[in-house]
Amino acid sequence: MIPRYSRPKMTAVWSPETRFRIWFEIEAYACEAMAELGVIPNEAAKAIWEKGGKAKFDVERIDEIERVTKHDVIAFLTHLAEFIGPDSRFVHQGMTSSDVLDTCLAVQLRRASDILIADVDALLAALKRRAYEYKMTPTVGRSHGVHAEPTTFGLKLALAFAEFSRARARLVTAREEISTTAISGAVGTFANIDPRVEEHVAKKLGLKVEPVSTQVIPRDRHAAFFATLGVVASSVERLATEIRHLQRTEVMEAEEYFSEGQKGSSAMPHKRNPVLTENLTGLARMVRSAVTPALEDVALWHERDISHSSVERMIGPDATITLDFALARLAEVIGKLVVYPETMRKNLDKLGGLIHSQRVLLALTQKGLSREEAYALVQRNAMPVWRGEGDFLTLLKADRDVAKALSAEELEALFDLGYHFKEVDTIFRRVFGEP
């Protein structure tokens, strides 16, 4: 987590001040529930809320205490007692540190999820706008990096829209799965705390009760969460890579916006590099780097160990902050993307009509030729064009075997570019759900 790739709202979720405020709320809500159950005095619960609610927790003071106690939750509780006074003896009764830590992490990941979902919504809006803008703009489709058949640039963007719609749904699911609390005490048996305390805290924090915990919330939930972030990051990289390829000098069908005064190279003044999408590729790798440690955190010893703790202290902030930045940057790239329809059309025509080879193949089979015979006829006329030795339609018209099956007029009709786009509206309806 570095400032260069961080945005304030997401960074605030992971600040020490936010963490300690959540810790206090967990403890205070627990006291509130215990007071209702008659475990602690009502006056004490009210005093804890009043004094702790007004307190401005001193991060340096807590760190100072922790250097002695070697325990972060105890350091916080000691500092909290400095504000609350004698009633602090009622705080944390029957609870264990993980009750606070795991519940707090759930709150933070839930808040982070809300930001990420909003990020995806902004990206979807940009993709939809640009997809409709270039809905019928012809461009060449490529397989293996080689010209295949015509498509539209709008369909490329519609594909990305559908992919990030799935990403959004996955984030919503991950948000719900991670949103559980455990206030169940040591090893999760509720021996020293009433389960109704857990229910009260969960309700107040907008969480669900973990059905069965040990001393920690089961880490398969966290593994699924970070795996989801990894998949979303891969979608970011896929779209970023597409843009990077389209900006190559030999292609130049689209490019990142290049602002006034921007410099592309310290050595070559002519350069306009796809630096933002290259950056997104790197950021995606960093988000995915959190997935394997999260998976390895699932296998803890018995009712708990803390091998997961150091991992989550890093990957929680790093993965969510990085993905937040990446999604926002990608939305900006799409929103400002410079598109060159004329170059798309030039590239589409670059292979002298070979992009229509399948239509010719199918037409020959419709005339009675076997698929093998038709394929051989089309390929023998295509290969010279590939080598720059003529125009595909011209060679087909001159081929006696082809001419026996297809007239010149029929061949010309097979080179109609619009034929390939007759179902674009159908695809857009499927993707965007609009008439």
Extended strands (E) in 132-277? 138-143, 146-152, 180-181, 208-209, 254-255
- Which residues does the annotation mark as catalytic? 144, 265
Q: Which residues contact 127 (CB under 8 A, 6 or more apart)?
A: 157, 158, 160, 161, 164, 334
C-alpha to C-alpha distances, 201 to 23, 27, 35, 39, nearest whole angstrom: 12, 9, 13, 16
Residue 54 token pair: 């007004």
Distance CA 365, CA 405 (A): 9
User: 296 — phi, psi (to 5°)?
Assistant: -70, -20
Count the neighbouring beta carbons within 10 Å of the beta carbon of residue 135: 18
Residue 399 token pair: 């081929």
Distance CA 33, CA 30 (A): 5
Q: Which residue, among 231, 153, 179, 163, has the nearest Cα to 424 in the 3D structure?
A: 153
